[in-house]
Amino acid sequence: MLRRILQALVAALSALALVFLVLFYWIAIRPLPLAVGQVSGPGFPAAAAGRDQFGVPHIEAPSTEEAVWVQGYVTAQDRLWQMDILRRVPAGQLSELLGPASLPADRESRTLGFQRAAAAVVRELPVNDLSVLAAYARGVNSFLESHRGNLPLEFRLLRYQPRPWTPSDSILVAMQMFRTLSTSWKDDLLKWSLLSRAPAQKVEALLPVRSGREFSPGSNAWAVSGAHTTSGKPLFANDPHLDYSIPCIWYTVHLKAPGFNVIGVSIPGLPGVIIGHNDRIAWGATNLHFDVQDLYMVQTVERREQEVIRVRGQADDLLPVELTPHGPVIAESQKQKFALRWTAMDSASWQYPFLEMDRAGNWQGFRAALARYRGPAQNWVYADVDGNIGYQAAGRLPIRKGFDGSVPVPSDGRFEWQGYIPFEELPRAYNPGSGIIVTANQNPFPPDYPYTVNGNFAPHFRANRIQELLEKARRFEAADFLHIQTDVYSAFGHAFAQELLASLERRKPAEPGLASVAAELRGWDGQFRREQRAPVVVTAAYNRFLHRLVEGIAGDMAGLYTSQMGTVVVEQVLSTRPPGWIGDYDELLLTSLRDSVQELGRTPGGSLTWGQYLETTLAHPIGHRIPLLRRWFDIGPFPQAGATTTIKQTTKRMGPSMRLIVDLADQDRSLHNITTGESGQPFSRHYKDQWPAYFEGRSFPLPFKSPQIVERLTFVPSR
């Protein structure tokens, strides 16, 4: 009897395990992309997508438009759910999936009017640009329609079907990137509020218009001429820093067609390569941070509309939106309404020049493509096989006369934009005598620039450190640039530590605990490495010093303003120690250090390493909420190195989003990796296969001329 019971139990458990395995295969494994074989359908091109060891698609097609079609198809294979979320965020359509927790984000997106703006852009796009977006959309939809019953796991978990992709959706994705890289209107409101409670001179010193705050995310890009390389040809590097996400924001792709051969990173939802190289040139970008948003104080509105936001699990949310000639009313304070004017909402100025950029063969062709670029203003860095390097700022930058745009202005006609700064008058450089070009979000506009300049330009620390490292060595190879990209020395952090030490030596406090801290600070080399403890003390003391510095001006609202201040402001205050700000600078430094040491002493284990202090998890927006699945969806927690003022710029929410190094002497010696992997599907082997190398500061060759194809999918047209 016992034997029969055990046999029955084993049989039941085996059946249950079999059911689980079948179910797991059906909902998690079956949706993984078909990478080997043949697919066909109406409108399919005669093309192929071979994948390398990291799942990067190398696409070959008879025409550029058909290559873009295949790009849409394979991107949907790997990143369909991410693409759907990237269009839903600006469209204000998250709440119908995620419920009322997403309502604040949806309400802001609906107020800004991205859907209206995207529809207007599509109506006014140049024909060639629209045809590219349409070809991409057809590729996405060909995948979607043939896989309705076999979609990635997230669609099953949230129980919904995505709608077809349209060119308007690609514009929405582009607008979301625009929003990520250029939102400043909230800063304007904070500065306006501070001016009402503090002297204007101090406010301008805290929040200057031409140096801004320690902006993050930031990015690095540089190029050196052949005079600085072992090969005698230029080397180029780019590592944009963006908010962490899983899957990451970049999707690597290689597109090849007659007269068209380009490799690099794309954004899921957008056709072409955004940053990369072709057989002649390489290019990349950092955010310019020029202010392209202004708030206008309005008394009346032109018209009112009502947005209906669907909310999962409850009634629709009805949102009234007030529209003015300057834009939507985005905020209200002290009975004053503020309307937002923003270059992103100028539908007539939108174009999509990326395939023209991908095809460019020289500096003149590259600049011609950039002249059509109207997205978030960027610093573009360039290098080519002929030995040239260049820099060009590009984007729509408003001309302001009589105001700088850092605070709201009346809407009485005195503060209107006077058009946009002409492309030919934007900062640029070509083959400088130094043979070095560096951009790390610093201000590129000279003091005598003829137009009003305002922006959250980054302080000089990252740019200066890159320049210093490039000038130190005579000849570089690609691997040397990877060491620079992963550098975690902070000149500001090191200098602030010296200020703390100088105050300790001048005042000689009696607390025994501070003596050991002083010894640790004296031995610290300014590196923000994971295993070090000194960076924790320095950062904690800096945060307290900054808060109390601002508190003397902003009072109980100091917490709102400290995030707006740049380290360059603190550097200036400590070097000049202006009277009338605080009574005793040394005492404030010591108090900040003393309180930080006391607070850190209460942490588990007595003290933290920098890696523990900056510990981060890449959390999947859905899988992280499911305990049994979290380990497959998430990455981390993991300790980090770097800081906001290091070349490898990191915080708890952001870091380098990809690394690219291009060797113009031999492009197959180029190096590249993204943070996680090509796939957005957690049970794919390419979901996070690039993470270990990214985390350890390693990279991989980026094959271009002779990629090693391990899987090949052929596309065949059918009637």
The verdict on residue 237 lying in a domain is no
Is pLDDT of 25 > 60? no
pLDDT of residue 601: 80
Average pLDDT, the chain: 92
Name the residue with tokens 């924790």: 536
pLDDT of residue 515: 87
The residues pairing with 294 across neighbouring beta strands, listed in sequence order, are 341
Is pLDDT of 542 > 60? yes
Q: Running DSSP on this structure, what letter comes out for residue 648?
A: S
The lowest-confidence range among 164-168, 342-346, 507-511 is: 507-511
pLDDT of residue 364: 98
DSSP output for 183-228: --HHHHHHHHHHHTTS-HHHHHHHS-TTT----SS-EEEEEE-GGG
pLDDT of residue 508: 87
Q: Provide CB contacts within 8 A for 72, sequence distance 6+.
A: 135, 136, 137, 138, 139, 140, 141, 142, 143, 165, 271
Percent of the chain exceeding pLDDT 70 equals: 95
Q: What is the pTM of this model?
A: 0.94
In a 10 Å sphere around its CB, with 0-12 CB exposed, 13-18 middle and 19+ buried, how is residue 347 labelled? middle
Characterize the bridge pairing of strands 409-410 and 260-266: unpaired
Number of structural domains in the chain = 1
Of 713 and 184, which is predicted with more confidence?
A: 713
The verdict on residue 518 lying in a domain is yes
User: Which H helix or E strand runs over 254?
Assistant: strand 251-257
Is pLDDT of 660 > 80? yes
The verdict on residue 573 lying in a domain is yes
Is pLDDT of 549 > 90? no
In a 10 Å sphere around its CB, with 0-12 CB exposed, 13-18 middle and 19+ buried, how is residue 556 labelled? exposed
Name the residue with tokens 């007539």: 348
pLDDT of residue 509: 87
pLDDT of residue 719: 73
Residue 205 confidence class, pLDDT cut points 50, 70, 90: confident
Q: Provide CB contacts within 8 A for 127, sequence distance 6+.
A: none
Asked if residues 32 and 152 have their Cβ atoms less than 8 Å apart, the reply is no
Give the relative orientation of helices 585-600 and 491-507 as an angle to the nearest 10 degrees: 100
Q: Running DSSP on this structure, what letter comes out for residue 504?
A: H
| pLDDT one-digit tens code per residue, 596-626 | 998 888 665 457 899 999 999 999 999 898 8
Cα distance from N-terminal residue to C-terminal residue, the chain: 64
Characterize the bridge pairing of strands 700-701 and 281-287: unpaired
User: How crowded is residue 325: how many other Cβ atoms within 10 Å of its Cβ?
Assistant: 12
Characterize the bridge pairing of strands 235-243 and 219-224: antiparallel
Name the residue with tokens 């309005």: 298
Asked if residues 273 and 281 have their Cβ atoms less than 8 Å apart, the reply is no
In terms of Cα–Cα distance, which of 393, 452, 385, 396 is closest to 178? 396
Which whole number is the average pLDDT over 117-122?
A: 96
Asked if residues 211 and 568 have their Cβ atoms less than 8 Å apart, the reply is yes
Which whole number is the average pLDDT over 674-702?
A: 96
**Length of the chain, in residues:** 719
Give the relative orientation of helices 491-507 and 534-554 as an angle to the nearest 10 degrees: 80
Name the residue with tokens 């859907």: 115
pLDDT of residue 213: 56
- Cα(648)–Cα(653) distance, integer angstroms: 14
Asked if residues 306 and 318 have their Cβ atoms less than 8 Å apart, the reply is yes
| pLDDT one-digit tens code per residue, 260-308 | 999 999 999 999 999 999 999 999 999 999 999 999 999 889 899 999 9
Asked if residues 276 and 263 have their Cβ atoms less than 8 Å apart, the reply is yes
Domain residue limits at 530: 491-613
The verdict on residue 138 lying in a domain is no
The verdict on residue 251 lying in a domain is no
> Sign of the CA dihedral 363, 369, 372, 376?
negative
How many angstroms separate the Cα of 483 from the Cα of each of 466, 477, 488, 666? 11, 11, 10, 20
Of 497 and 4, which is predicted with more confidence?
A: 497
How many angstroms separate the Cα of 643 from the Cα of each of 285, 347, 584, 682? 21, 38, 28, 29
Q: Provide CB contacts within 8 A for 221, sequence distance 6+.
A: 236, 237, 238, 239, 284, 285, 286, 379, 381, 438, 439, 440
The verdict on residue 357 lying in a domain is no
In terms of Cα–Cα distance, which of 481, 463, 474, 440 is closest to 672? 481
What are the structure tokens assigned to 503, written together?
């105050």
Q: Running DSSP on this structure, what letter comes out for residue 529?
A: -
Of 20 and 662, which is predicted with more confidence?
A: 662
What are the structure tokens assigned to 606, written together?
């007595």
Q: Maximum distance among all alpha carbons in the chain?
A: 96
Tell me which range, 19-23, 183-187, 189-193, 317-321, is most confidently predicted by mean pLDDT.
317-321
| pLDDT one-digit tens code per residue, 555-597 | 777 776 676 677 888 888 899 998 888 889 999 999 999 999 9
In terms of Cα–Cα distance, which of 174, 148, 144 is closest to 73? 144
The verdict on residue 332 lying in a domain is no
The lowest-confidence range among 140-149, 387-396, 542-551 is: 542-551
CATH of the domain at 604: 1.10.1400.10
Which whole number is the average pLDDT over 475-496?
A: 97
My answer on whether omega of the bond before 247 falls inside 30° of 0, hence cis, is yes
Of 29 and 502, which is predicted with more confidence?
A: 502
What are the structure tokens assigned to 686, written together?
């390419």
In terms of Cα–Cα distance, which of 572, 588, 645 is closest to 202? 572
The verdict on residue 539 lying in a domain is yes
Which whole number is the average pLDDT over 403-429?
A: 96
What are the structure tokens assigned to 332, written together?
């209200």
| pLDDT one-digit tens code per residue, 622-659 | 989 888 788 889 999 999 999 999 999 999 999 999 99
pLDDT of residue 18: 62
Q: Provide CB contacts within 8 A for 490, sequence distance 6+.
A: 461, 526, 527, 528, 643, 645, 646
Asked if residues 589 and 545 have their Cβ atoms less than 8 Å apart, the reply is yes
Residue 406 confidence class, pLDDT cut points 50, 70, 90: very high
| pLDDT one-digit tens code per residue, 231-262 | 999 999 999 999 999 999 999 999 999 999 99
pLDDT of residue 632: 87
